[in-house]
């Protein structure tokens, strides 16, 4: 069977050094910003499950109708649904050499499903640690580009006009679920699920945690250095992580 036939039959080929990087952390921990940098550096697609679901909700597809209210309320969509979405996305050609996963897995069931989807020797799990008060403070100033999904921090949390996306020029808006009450609900959901998820990964050699309170450039440097170490192509990072 040719590679192309195999793709159509749903069989994935990963290049020998394929890398699947899972970025964990609470909402507002800077995952989106760091995810874009890592994906660019390694030439892999940035797969944000939140972005996929928001796009679907906005475009009014069948999927969007099913998940729109769930997202707006800050609750989680079902494990089976989100896993089907991620599995299909990982089958796309641009993910042949890996992907950066942002927002997935969020539950043990999703983590178990992911283990069966990707080759284990190429998996890297990185946690961004940021405490709750800092997150609530950050989320008040967070705006998102509706088109390309990148996030920006605005100087004035209450400004009606948030400016335009530096990448595509479309308006930046506050995400409906970044409303402070919904943020608190999302954080409670995260807190309930994060500990078991971290426990699932933390004894693996491919796991590292980084202090997400550092300036973004330093967070990026720390993440890159852990990726290089885990892949076996770099010096160990400082011991405080
Ligand atoms: P995020 O942009 O990652 O904060 O995700 C926004 C919203 O999308 C979440 O509050 C959930 O409603 C939904 N969502 C994203 N990823 C997942 C996931 N892995 N499992 C369940 N729901 C998800």
Q: Map out the domains of the chain as residue ranges.
A: 3-45+92-230
pLDDT at 5 over 60: no
Average of per-residue pLDDT values in the chain: 87
Instruction: Provide the pLDDT for residue 141.
Output: 87
pLDDT value of position 131: 87
pLDDT for the residue numbered 106? 95
- Residues 6 or more apart whose CB falls under 8 angstroms from that of 121 comprise none
**Catalytic residue list contains 167:** no
Please give the distance, rounded to the nearest whole angstrom, from the Cα atom of residue 143 to the centre of ligand 1. 17
Sheet with strand 151-153: strands edge to edge: 151-153, 142-145, 172-173
Catalytic residue from among 54, 138, 141, 142: 142
pLDDT in tens, 153-179: 888 777 756 788 988 999 888 888 888
71 lines ligand 1 (CB under 6 A): yes
How far is Cα 65 from Cα 83, in angstroms, rounded to an integer? 18
Q: Which neighbouring-strand residues pair with 101?
A: 22, 47
Residue 53 Cα: closest atom of ligand 1: 8
pLDDT-based confidence at 14, cuts 50/70/90?
low
% of the chain with per-residue pLDDT over 90:
57
Average pLDDT for residues 215-241, to the nearest whole number? 81
- Residues 114 and 117: their CA atoms lie apart, in Å, by 5
Instruction: Give the N- to C-terminal CA distance of the chain in Å, as an integer.
Output: 45
Residue 241 has pLDDT above 50, yes or no: no
Residue 43 in contact with residue 127, Cβ under 8 Å? no
Dump pLDDT digits (tens) for 89-121: 999 999 999 999 999 999 999 999 999 999 988
Q: Which two tokens stand for residue 203?
A: 């004894």
Taking CA atoms only, the protein residue closest to ligand 1 atom 12 is: 71
Strand 172-173 to 142-145 pairing = antiparallel
CATH superfamily, with its number, for domain 3-45+92-230: P-loop containing nucleotide triphosphate hydrolases (3.40.50.300)
**Annotation says 93 is catalytic:** no
Exposed, middle or buried: residue 109 (CB in 10 Å: 0-12, 13-18, 19+)? middle
List the structure tokens of 56. Answer: 């679907």
- 186 touches ligand 1 (CB under 6 Å): yes
Helices (H), the chain: 3-8, 31-42, 49-59, 62-73, 79-90, 108-115, 132-140, 180-201, 216-231
> CB of 67 closer than 6 A to ligand 1?
no
The residue with greater pLDDT, 70 or 17, is 70
Closest alpha carbon to 76 in 178, 189, 176: 189
Rounded CA separation 184/167 (Å)? 29
């Amino acid at each position: 069977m040719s590679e192309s036939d195999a793709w159509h039959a749903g069989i994935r080929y990963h290049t020998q050094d394929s890398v699947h990087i899972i970025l964990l952390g609470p909402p507002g921990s800077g995952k989106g910003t760091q995810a874009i940098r890592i994906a660019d550096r390694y030439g892999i697609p940035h797969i944000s499950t939140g972005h996929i679901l928001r796009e679907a909700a906005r475009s009014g597809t069948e999927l969007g109708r099913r998940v729109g209210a769930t997202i707006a309320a800050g609750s989680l969509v079902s494990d089976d649904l989100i896993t089907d979405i991620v599995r299909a996305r990982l089958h796309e050609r641009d993910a042949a050499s890996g992907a950066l996963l942002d927002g997935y897995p969020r539950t043990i069931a999703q983590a178990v499903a992911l283990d069966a989807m990707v080759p284990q020797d190429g998996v890297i799990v990185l946690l961004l640690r940021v405490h709750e008060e800092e997150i609530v403070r950050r989320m008040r100033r967070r705006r998102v580009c509706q088109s390309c999904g990148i996030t920006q921090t605005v100087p004035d949390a209450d400004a009606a006009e948030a400016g335009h996306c530096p990448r595509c020029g479309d308006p930046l808006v506050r995400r409906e679920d970044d409303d402070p009450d919904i943020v608190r609900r999302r954080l409670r959901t995260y807190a309930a699920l994060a500990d078991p998820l971290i426990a699932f990964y933390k004894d693996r050699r491919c796991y590292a945690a980084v202090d997400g309170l550092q300036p973004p450039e330093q967070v990026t440097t720390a993440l890159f250095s852990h990726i290089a170490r885990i892949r076996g192509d770099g010096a160990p990072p400082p011991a405080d992580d």
